[in-house]
Chains A and B, each alone.
Chain A
Amino acid sequence: MHKMDISTERKVVIVVIALFLHLVLVSTHVVLENKRTLFQTAIGVVISPFQIAFQKTVDFISNQFQRYIFLHGSEKRNQELTEQITQLKLDINRLKVQVHDLEFLAHVRKQNIKYHNPIKVDVISIDRNAPLSSLIINKGYDSGIKKDMIVLNGDGELVGKIVEPITPFTAKVRLITSSNGGVGAYLEKNLLEGFIIGSNTSVCIFKYLIESKFVGVGDRVVTSGTDQIFPPYIPIGIVTATEKELLTQKVIVKPFFIEKSIKQLLVAENFQEISFTAIPERPSSSEEHR
């Protein structure tokens, strides 16, 4: 047998390849801690960068297609989403109004005064020429509003009464500070009776009080019920100043509602239908369950 004439470099290369193949064979039997063979791990290490690069390239191209080519439905979709957003904003506003209404009604309930079918209303307009004369509310005779119904604030204090005009969806409220009309009233501490007249300012005048009777600053004034419009014992205001006149005295009264919000009001039936009996204590939760 004679030996072939092969260059040393070529022999070395072939031997190295042969040995490498043996190493590959060995690596298929070596199990690493990750339960994979060395061969699988090596292949994974070698292949994974290409795999990741390929995946990212495909993702990138897909995204570009999605962004720039498949946009024909985006305008319609945008319009739908805009409509949804608008509807949601309206819903949020409606819910906010409902929350405010509920808060107001809860506050009213705390005042311990019971009305027959009170109607909660919102003020939508105030007379710009005489802001303390009258205002417009957002409910009319469609909601059961009638002339001469009494108007109270959230604390159950007198604000005014319903007057004409009354439309299906709005009604006018004449405030007790208006120079038109008046309210029969007396001092709460001694039942000294008189008549409250407004002056289109933030105070009212308590007229027809006998000069000899003492009236102190800070005395509370409530309705007397003698005018047959307002039921008795509704808080009106507080005495802020007195002035002696011939036979009578002039008393300045500041209504309670002046310093409080009149954004939300209560409209209740007038004298005949209203009662001021205290609301009985609510039964405890355990009693309710029973």
Chain B
Amino acid sequence: MERKAKFILLAIFILLQIAVQRYSNVFRINLDLIYLILVYVAIKSNFYKTLIVATIIGLATDMFSMQILGVFGFARTALAFALNEISNHIDFKNNVVVFLLISISLCLSNSIANLFFYFIEPGFGLSLNMILYQPILTGLAGIALLGNSRIKRILDVY
């Protein structure tokens, strides 16, 4: 039952991400719901699985963002490893902590990517959208979608 629910949630997240990506210009919303999947995998899975999923998600993000291949892969892998290491010391019952965890980690990950783009891509400056707006919005979306205690129970994050 829980496994089935997890797959449904995964499908919902992917569909939502596609929809957000498609209409991001219209609604001016920039979310990274796939990152929520990565956070979940990082806090719940073992080291190798985290690393593999982070790499896949990072490279997928690179492909979808049409940017230099490997930049988000690097950033997501580094942050997934950090989340995997600190996950044992975090209280996931507290939604504020979850929000901060998602926002700060995404902010750091995007900052690393931004740094790469700054040095590699001519004319690419500091992107507030990447460093600030997207992490906050993604954190809020994470709380909204996963903050419910029932969903937390399904996802086994207590």
Contacts and interface: CB of A to CB of B under 8 A. Distances in A.
Interface in B82-135: 85, 116, 120
B64 interface: no
Contact of A1 (B45, B48, B51, B85): B45
Contact of A15 (B45, B78, B120): B78
Contact of A25 (B45, B69, B78, B120): B69
A23 B48 contact: no
A30 B120 contact: yes
A18 B29 CA distance: 32
Secondary structure type dominating chain A contacts? helix
B55 A30 contact: no
Given A1-B45, A3-B47, A25 B73 contact: yes
A85 interface: no
A29 B78 contact: no
Contacts of A23: 70, 74
Nearest to A4: B46
Contact of B116 (A4, A11, A18, A26): A26
Interface residues of A, number: 18
Nearest to A3: B46
A191 interface: no
A241 interface: no
B68 A29 contact: yes
A15 B81 contact: yes
A22 interface: yes
A97 interface: no
A26 B74 contact: yes
A25 B58 CA distance: 12
B55 to A, nearest CB: 6
B47 A6 contact: yes
A26 B120 contact: yes
Interface of B: 44-48, 51, 55, 58, 68-71, 73-74, 77-78, 81, 85, 116, 120
Contacts of B78: 15, 19
Nearest to B74: A22
Interface of A: 1-4, 6, 11, 14-15, 18-19, 22-26, 28-30
Contacts of B73: 22, 25
A18 B68 contact: no
Contacts of A29: 68-70, 120
Contacts of B68: 26, 29-30
Contact of B71 (A2, A11, A26): A26
29 contacts: A1-B45, A2-B46, A3-B45, A3-B46, A3-B47, A6-B47, A11-B85, A14-B47, A14-B51, A15-B51, A15-B78, A18-B55, A18-B77, A19-B74, A19-B77, A22-B74, A23-B70, A25-B69, A25-B70, A26-B68, A26-B69, A26-B71, A26-B74, A28-B69, A28-B70, A29-B70, A29-B120, A30-B68, A30-B120
Contacts of A14: 47, 51
A18 B51 contact: yes
B81 A26 contact: no
A-B pairs, top 8 by smallest CB distance, nearest first, are A25-B70, A22-B74, A26-B70, A4-B46, A22-B73, A29-B68, A22-B70, A15-B81
B141 to A, nearest CB: 24
B46 A22 contact: no
A95 to B, nearest CB: 69
B30 to A, nearest CB: 23
A257 to B, nearest CB: 92
A24 B59 CA distance: 13
Contacts of B77: 15, 18-19, 22
Nearest to A10: B47
Contacts of A28: 69-70
Contacts of B58: 22
A19 to B, nearest CB: 6
A253 to B, nearest CB: 102
A26 B77 CA distance: 14
B3 to A, nearest CB: 11
Contacts of B47: 3-4, 6, 11, 14
Contacts of B74: 19, 22-23, 26
